[in-house]
Amino acid sequence: MTSATPKLEYRELGNTGLKLSCVGFGASPLGNVFGGVTGEEANAAVREAFRLGINFFDTSPYYGGTLSEKVLGNALKALGVPRNEYVVATKCGRYKEEGFNFSADRVTRSIDESLERLQLEYVDILYCHDIEFGSLDQIVKETIPALQKIKEAGKTRFIGITGLPLHIYTYVLDRVPPGSLDVILSYCHYCINDSTLEDIIPYLKSKGVGIVNASPLAMGLLTESGPPEWHPASSELKSACQAAATYCKEKGKSIAKLAMQYSLLNKEMTSVLVGMKSVKQVEENVAAATELAASGIDEATLAEVEAILKPVKNQSWPSGIQQS
């Protein structure tokens, strides 16, 4: 990076003391979740991320059936960056072959498996992955206490929960002792088409948890090439996002850049975690952040895109099981 290149902003994550780059590297694409990626492409994307100041990497055993963890681990090892210069988050309780298992026994084995695949001695954050698919009472009574033991054993520095419906956060945080959880990772709820995460920010801050905002591109909805085939949005939401992307393209603008900038504008969310699989995407997403810092967002295009998306604003999709 030359001295003229604007630096990425770093923001503090809740009470953890961690300072995360405002653009985080979502590594689910390294598990071929959004199309194939070679080891070389993955290594190059991770190398470029470091070069441009990204220090936060997020993966899970679920992504690509453990592939994402392995590919990220290899890329980090190949780079040889000192361990205290980056933050790695992984997850437990959701697996491609096994499905969901939030038992204390499974999550306790899970972290050892993840550390081996990542070739690390510890991760910085360990989340229970997509808890709405388990019993929330089990998460409160069994899984979080198991994660706390993993933390005490030094295998993770901090612990958290992830999932789609926002009520899971209040349900769990209302039932665990204060300070039990360090972080929450929410996805698809703070992007141009859905900003509902904003409503619970004061609550989350009152509980002292750090906030990671994943999927600023709504898992591909807010890109020119559109979402992957498995995307759970309704056809109405997909069509509206496609219309917004076409509008931007015709004006010579990038919907992905606008969407990144929209999410980055809210500084309550420490890091905007975007899924990346190429040097080009890393460069574009970092440029979105540095250009935002230098010259602000394109208000006129944002207003047009928001108008196109207004009929589907805050529309989500079902996720999880009926809680008893």
Question: How many CB atoms are located within 10 Å of the residue 9 CB?
Answer: 18
Percentages of the chain per state (helix, strand, coil), in multiples of 5: 45, 15, 40
Q: Respond yes or no: is residue 63 known to be catalytic.
A: yes
Nearer to ligand NAD, 3 or 294 (CB): 294
HEC sequence for 152-213: HCCCEEEEEEEECCCHHHHHHHCCCCCCCCCEEEEECCCECCECHHHHHHHHHHHCCCEEEE
Nearer to ligand NAD, 152 or 209 (CB): 209
Minimal distance in Å, beta carbon 25 to ligand NAD? 8
Residue with tokens 């999410």: 263
Nearer to ligand NAD, 59 or 154 (CB): 59
Minimal distance in Å, beta carbon 20 to ligand NAD? 13
Angle at 315 between CA 310 and CA 321, to 5 degrees: 175
Minimal distance in Å, beta carbon 132 to ligand NAD? 9
Nearer to ligand NAD, 22 or 177 (CB): 22
Beta bridge partners of 106: none
For 247, the token pair is 């509008």
Residue number closest to ligand NAD, CB atom: 275
Minimal distance in Å, beta carbon 233 to ligand NAD? 12
Which residues would be at the binding site for ligand NAD (CB under 6 A)? Answer: 26-29, 34, 58, 129-130, 162, 185, 187, 214-220, 223, 256, 273-277, 281, 284-285
Q: Is 87 helix (H, G, I), strand (E, B) or coil?
A: strand
Q: Out of 63, 86, 127, 187, which one is annotated catalytic?
A: 63
Amino acid 165 reads: P
| Residues with a known catalytic role | 63
